[in-house]
Structure 1
Protein backbone atom coordinates (compact mmCIF):
# COMPACT_ATOMS: atom_id res chain seq x y z
CA UNK A 1 0.00 0.00 0.00
CA UNK A 2 1.31 3.43 -0.94
CA UNK A 3 2.13 5.90 1.80
CA UNK A 4 0.87 9.48 1.60
CA UNK A 5 4.25 10.82 0.41
CA UNK A 6 4.27 8.23 -2.43
CA UNK A 7 1.28 9.99 -3.99
CA UNK A 8 2.95 13.36 -4.46
CA UNK A 9 4.31 14.63 -7.76
CA UNK A 10 8.10 14.36 -7.92
CA UNK A 11 10.54 15.50 -10.56
CA UNK A 12 14.29 15.29 -10.92
CA UNK A 13 16.18 17.70 -13.12
CA UNK A 14 19.74 18.84 -13.63
CA UNK A 15 20.77 22.08 -11.93
CA UNK A 16 23.50 23.80 -13.90
CA UNK A 17 23.97 26.36 -11.09
CA UNK A 18 24.58 23.64 -8.49
CA UNK A 19 26.24 21.17 -10.86
CA UNK A 20 24.03 18.45 -9.36
CA UNK A 21 20.65 16.85 -9.82
CA UNK A 22 17.80 18.43 -7.91
CA UNK A 23 14.76 16.56 -6.63
CA UNK A 24 11.54 18.59 -6.46
CA UNK A 25 7.98 18.03 -5.27
CA UNK A 26 5.18 20.02 -6.96
CA UNK A 27 3.00 20.08 -3.84
CA UNK A 28 5.90 21.41 -1.72
CA UNK A 29 7.53 24.03 -4.00
CA UNK A 30 9.82 25.36 -1.25
CA UNK A 31 11.54 21.97 -0.84
CA UNK A 32 14.38 20.55 -2.91
CA UNK A 33 17.16 17.98 -2.58
CA UNK A 34 20.53 18.09 -4.33
CA UNK A 35 22.51 14.94 -5.15
CA UNK A 36 25.14 13.64 -7.54
CA UNK A 37 22.76 11.16 -9.23
CA UNK A 38 19.09 11.39 -10.26
CA UNK A 39 18.27 8.37 -8.11
CA UNK A 40 19.76 9.95 -4.99
CA UNK A 41 17.95 13.23 -5.72
CA UNK A 42 14.61 11.41 -5.97
CA UNK A 43 15.23 9.40 -2.82
CA UNK A 44 16.32 12.55 -0.97
CA UNK A 45 13.27 14.63 -1.87
CA UNK A 46 10.90 11.75 -1.06
CA UNK A 47 12.52 11.31 2.36
CA UNK A 48 12.43 15.07 2.97
CA UNK A 49 8.72 15.21 2.13
CA UNK A 50 8.07 12.26 4.47
CA UNK A 51 9.89 14.10 7.29
CA UNK A 52 7.97 17.33 6.61
CA UNK A 53 4.67 15.43 6.62
CA UNK A 54 5.52 13.93 10.02
CA UNK A 55 6.33 17.38 11.41
CA UNK A 56 3.15 18.86 9.94
CA UNK A 57 1.09 16.07 11.47
CA UNK A 58 2.61 16.70 14.91
CA UNK A 59 1.74 20.39 14.76
CA UNK A 60 -1.69 19.90 13.15
CA UNK A 61 -0.69 21.94 10.10
CA UNK A 62 -2.87 21.44 7.02
CA UNK A 63 -1.26 18.84 4.76
CA UNK A 64 -1.36 19.54 0.99
CA UNK A 65 -3.53 17.15 -1.00
CA UNK A 66 -1.56 15.24 -3.64
CA UNK A 67 -2.31 16.50 -7.15
CA UNK A 68 -2.92 12.87 -8.15
CA UNK A 69 -5.84 12.68 -5.67
CA UNK A 70 -7.58 15.86 -6.82
CA UNK A 71 -10.53 15.82 -9.18
CA UNK A 72 -10.32 18.29 -12.04
CA UNK A 73 -13.40 19.57 -13.87
CA UNK A 74 -11.54 20.39 -17.07
CA UNK A 75 -12.69 23.99 -16.81
CA UNK A 76 -10.70 27.06 -15.87
CA UNK A 77 -10.80 30.70 -16.89
CA UNK A 78 -7.92 32.35 -18.67
CA UNK A 79 -7.77 36.08 -19.25
CA UNK A 80 -5.96 37.18 -22.39
CA UNK A 81 -5.52 40.57 -24.05
CA UNK A 82 -8.34 41.49 -26.47
CA UNK A 83 -6.02 41.20 -29.48
CA UNK A 84 -5.15 37.59 -28.54
CA UNK A 85 -8.86 36.81 -28.09
CA UNK A 86 -9.59 38.25 -31.55
CA UNK A 87 -6.71 36.31 -33.14
CA UNK A 88 -7.91 33.04 -31.59
CA UNK A 89 -11.51 33.71 -32.65
CA UNK A 90 -10.36 34.27 -36.25
CA UNK A 91 -8.27 31.08 -36.21
CA UNK A 92 -11.24 29.13 -34.83
CA UNK A 93 -13.61 30.51 -37.46
CA UNK A 94 -11.17 29.82 -40.29
CA UNK A 95 -10.64 26.27 -39.00
CA UNK A 96 -14.36 25.64 -38.52
CA UNK A 97 -13.97 24.77 -34.83
CA UNK A 98 -14.93 26.40 -31.55
CA UNK A 99 -12.78 28.95 -29.75
CA UNK A 100 -12.58 26.44 -26.90
CA UNK A 101 -11.17 23.78 -29.25
CA UNK A 102 -8.48 26.16 -30.58
CA UNK A 103 -7.48 27.28 -27.06
CA UNK A 104 -7.41 23.69 -25.78
CA UNK A 105 -5.26 22.60 -28.71
CA UNK A 106 -2.76 25.39 -28.14
CA UNK A 107 -2.58 24.73 -24.38
CA UNK A 108 -1.92 21.03 -24.91
CA UNK A 109 1.07 21.61 -27.21
Structure 2
Protein backbone atom coordinates (compact mmCIF):
# COMPACT_ATOMS: atom_id res chain seq x y z
CA UNK A 1 0.00 0.00 0.00
CA UNK A 2 1.47 3.36 -0.98
CA UNK A 3 1.71 6.24 1.48
CA UNK A 4 -0.82 8.09 -0.64
CA UNK A 5 -3.39 5.35 -0.19
CA UNK A 6 -2.55 4.89 3.48
CA UNK A 7 -3.04 8.56 4.31
CA UNK A 8 -5.82 9.42 1.89
CA UNK A 9 -8.72 8.90 4.27
CA UNK A 10 -7.12 9.69 7.63
CA UNK A 11 -6.74 13.45 7.42
CA UNK A 12 -9.38 15.60 9.04
CA UNK A 13 -11.60 17.51 6.63
CA UNK A 14 -13.46 20.78 7.14
CA UNK A 15 -16.50 21.09 4.89
CA UNK A 16 -18.20 24.48 4.56
CA UNK A 17 -20.73 26.01 2.19
CA UNK A 18 -19.48 28.97 0.16
CA UNK A 19 -22.39 31.18 -0.89
CA UNK A 20 -19.98 33.20 -3.04
CA UNK A 21 -18.84 30.12 -4.99
CA UNK A 22 -22.17 28.29 -4.65
CA UNK A 23 -20.21 25.17 -3.74
CA UNK A 24 -19.11 23.06 -0.80
CA UNK A 25 -15.49 23.79 0.05
CA UNK A 26 -13.27 21.17 1.69
CA UNK A 27 -10.14 22.25 3.52
CA UNK A 28 -7.53 19.77 4.79
CA UNK A 29 -6.02 21.70 7.73
CA UNK A 30 -3.17 19.22 8.25
CA UNK A 31 -1.98 19.76 4.66
CA UNK A 32 -1.35 23.48 4.29
CA UNK A 33 -3.12 24.85 1.23
CA UNK A 34 -4.83 21.57 0.32
CA UNK A 35 -8.44 22.38 -0.50
CA UNK A 36 -11.07 21.70 -3.12
CA UNK A 37 -14.78 22.09 -3.74
CA UNK A 38 -17.84 20.42 -5.25
CA UNK A 39 -21.48 21.10 -6.05
CA UNK A 40 -22.56 18.51 -3.46
CA UNK A 41 -20.98 17.36 -0.21
CA UNK A 42 -20.34 13.95 -1.77
CA UNK A 43 -18.62 15.48 -4.80
CA UNK A 44 -16.55 17.78 -2.58
CA UNK A 45 -15.43 14.83 -0.42
CA UNK A 46 -14.51 12.77 -3.49
CA UNK A 47 -12.55 15.72 -4.84
CA UNK A 48 -10.82 16.01 -1.45
CA UNK A 49 -9.59 12.41 -1.69
CA UNK A 50 -8.10 13.21 -5.09
CA UNK A 51 -6.61 16.50 -3.84
CA UNK A 52 -4.95 14.73 -0.90
CA UNK A 53 -3.47 12.17 -3.29
CA UNK A 54 -2.07 14.87 -5.57
CA UNK A 55 -0.73 16.83 -2.59
CA UNK A 56 1.08 13.78 -1.20
CA UNK A 57 2.46 12.84 -4.64
CA UNK A 58 3.83 16.39 -4.89
CA UNK A 59 5.54 16.08 -1.49
CA UNK A 60 7.02 12.70 -2.46
CA UNK A 61 8.28 14.06 -5.80
CA UNK A 62 10.08 16.88 -4.00
CA UNK A 63 11.48 14.57 -1.34
CA UNK A 64 9.55 16.31 1.42
CA UNK A 65 8.14 14.52 4.47
CA UNK A 66 4.48 13.55 4.47
CA UNK A 67 2.72 14.96 7.54
CA UNK A 68 1.36 12.29 9.85
CA UNK A 69 -2.42 12.63 10.23
CA UNK A 70 -3.41 13.86 13.68
CA UNK A 71 -5.71 10.84 13.96
CA UNK A 72 -2.58 8.65 13.90
CA UNK A 73 -0.70 10.55 16.60
CA UNK A 74 -0.76 9.61 20.26
CA UNK A 75 -1.48 12.49 22.62
CA UNK A 76 -0.51 12.46 26.30
CA UNK A 77 -3.05 15.04 27.44
CA UNK A 78 -0.27 17.26 28.77
CA UNK A 79 0.45 20.69 27.32
CA UNK A 80 3.43 22.73 28.54
CA UNK A 81 1.98 26.22 28.64
CA UNK A 82 3.51 29.60 29.38
CA UNK A 83 1.12 32.45 30.12
CA UNK A 84 1.35 35.88 31.70
CA UNK A 85 1.47 35.74 35.50
CA UNK A 86 -1.61 37.98 35.70
CA UNK A 87 -3.60 35.57 33.51
CA UNK A 88 -2.39 32.65 35.64
CA UNK A 89 -3.62 34.47 38.75
CA UNK A 90 -7.00 35.30 37.15
CA UNK A 91 -7.51 31.72 36.00
CA UNK A 92 -6.62 30.36 39.43
CA UNK A 93 -9.01 32.81 41.09
CA UNK A 94 -11.90 31.83 38.80
CA UNK A 95 -11.11 28.14 39.26
CA UNK A 96 -11.21 28.53 43.05
CA UNK A 97 -14.51 30.44 42.87
CA UNK A 98 -15.89 27.60 40.70
CA UNK A 99 -14.52 25.05 43.20
CA UNK A 100 -12.43 23.35 40.51
CA UNK A 101 -8.80 22.56 39.98
CA UNK A 102 -6.99 24.89 37.64
CA UNK A 103 -6.54 22.05 35.11
CA UNK A 104 -10.27 21.19 35.10
CA UNK A 105 -11.25 24.85 34.83
CA UNK A 106 -8.96 25.42 31.83
CA UNK A 107 -10.12 22.17 30.20
CA UNK A 108 -13.78 23.24 30.43
CA UNK A 109 -13.01 26.70 29.05
CA UNK A 110 -11.02 25.24 26.15
CA UNK A 111 -13.81 22.78 25.28
CA UNK A 112 -16.29 25.65 25.11
CA UNK A 113 -13.93 27.65 22.89
CA UNK A 114 -13.56 25.06 20.13
Which TM class, normalised by the smaller chain length?
Answer: 0.7 to 0.9
| Unmatched 5+ stretches in structure 1 | none
CA deviations over 1:21-43 (Å, ceiling 9, x no partner): 10111211311112111111111
Report the TM-score when normalising by structure 2. Answer: 0.81
d(CA) in 2 for partners of 1:49, 1:9 = 11
Cα RMSD over matched residues? 2.0
Aligned equivalent of 2:57: 54
d(CA) in 2 for partners of 1:28, 1:17 = 24
- The one of 54, 59, 76 equivalent to 1:73 is 76
- The one of 71, 86, 89 equivalent to 1:86 is 89
Count of residues paired in the alignment: 109
Contact 1:23 1:42 in 2 (8 A): yes
- Measured after TM superposition, the shift of residue 11 of structure 1 is 2.2
Q: Measured at CA, do residues 84 and 16 of structure 1 come closer, stay the same or move farther in structure 2, by a change above 3 Å?
A: farther
SS in 2 for 1:7: coil
Report the TM-score when normalising by structure 1. Answer: 0.84
